[in-house]
Amino acid sequence: MSAEQIEKTPLSISLEYWDQVCPSYYRYKINATEINPRIGVNLDKDEGDVIVGKWVDFLKTLHDQRCIILAWQTPRIIDFG
């Protein structure tokens, strides 16, 4: 993405638009509590850049998934305290 494309990208979208581009049958739900140990994330010891890097690598493996969402009441990937 170019800097211009990034600037034009909305920071949020409406629920109606989300439902249009990601109908429920395309949504792939993940649970951070289950994924963190699988990808080697230790929230007590790892720095933010390490956590993000591991999540980026994991998400790249899901290239065939159109819409990825965190399961309801799943902890954030990074807790900014």
The confidence score (pLDDT) of residue 81 equals: 59
**d(Cα 67, Cα 74) in Å, to the nearest integer?**
17
**Segment-wise mean pLDDT, segments of 10 residues, the chain, 81 residues:** 75 88 92 94 90 94 90 76 59
**d(Cα 31, Cα 53) in Å, to the nearest integer?**
17
The confidence score (pLDDT) of residue 79 equals: 66
The confidence score (pLDDT) of residue 39 equals: 96
38 Cβ neighbours under 8 A, 6+ residues apart = 58
Amino acid found at 35:
I
Q: Please report which helix (H) or strand (E) contains residue 15, including its range.
A: helix 15-21
The confidence score (pLDDT) of residue 80 equals: 62
